[in-house]
Amino acid sequence: MSASVTSAAGNSLLLHVCCGPCSIMPVQRLQEAGYAVTAWFMNPNIQPLSEYFRRREAAGECAERLGIPILYEDAPWDIVAWLRQVAGRDLPPERCRWCCTSRMEATYAAARALGFAYFSSSLLYSRYQPHDAIAAAGFRLCGLDVPAVLPQAHPASAPDAATAQTAGPCFVYRDFRTDWQAGIDISRAWGVYRQPYCGCVYSEAERYHKKWQRLLTSEGRA
């Protein structure tokens, strides 16, 4: 990691952030709930490298505006390794579930190594991510049963701080999607970079697939 932090506070929470705009409302909601949030940027799925740099910078800008520290885990970025790992499950929804679950696993490991009481992810904010799979991974990692129906509001679904400190970092679940438009409005007002696709080269191709199809169609008519 680019910085070394040990956070023994009972309300300390390591928040995996997938990008700047998606982190805004999760950070604000968690702060309102009394958590001391530290952002953690670890996203080897963001490709190409120029896009990774843009989103990394935007995440740092949002963290600064929100008044929280941010840690960058850059070493895992390796496009060749990532593509090899996703081989054989490179179509959605398998690819997306693996991508999000692997980052939840990395967040849990980092939170445990750094001494955080809790962990969560801004992935829970996106309407386009496999929300149930992300939540299930979080509950599973800290040994909690996955609810048959995920709460729709903002419940405190983690044990108290004392339990979390003795048992390891505990997952804090929130359905941040209810703040979808608020996050968009704030990020636009701040003028931070808003990405046009999810992250990987596959999702970039999917984002522009219709344009590609129109191009092929027009060439076929020429």
Exposure of 76 by Cβ count < 10 A (0-12 exposed, 13-18 middle, 19+ buried)?
middle
How many other C-beta atoms are found inside a 10 Å radius of the C-beta of residue 159? 18
User: What pLDDT, in 10s, does the model give residues 97-120?
Assistant: 999 999 999 999 999 999 999 999
Query: Mean per-residue pLDDT for 113-136?
Result: 96
User: What pLDDT, in 10s, does the model give residues 43-74?
Assistant: 999 999 999 999 999 999 999 999 999 999 99
Instruction: Please give the pLDDT value at position 154.
Output: 44
Instruction: Please give the pLDDT value at position 165.
Output: 45
Instruction: Show me where the domains of the chain are located.
Output: 12-194
12-194: what CATH class?
Answer: alpha beta
Query: Mean per-residue pLDDT for 190-217?
Result: 90
Query: Mean per-residue pLDDT for 122-150?
Result: 92
Q: Which H helix or E strand runs over 14?
A: strand 12-16
Instruction: Please give the pLDDT value at position 184.
Output: 98
C-alpha to C-alpha distance for 173 and 150, rounded to whole angstroms? 9
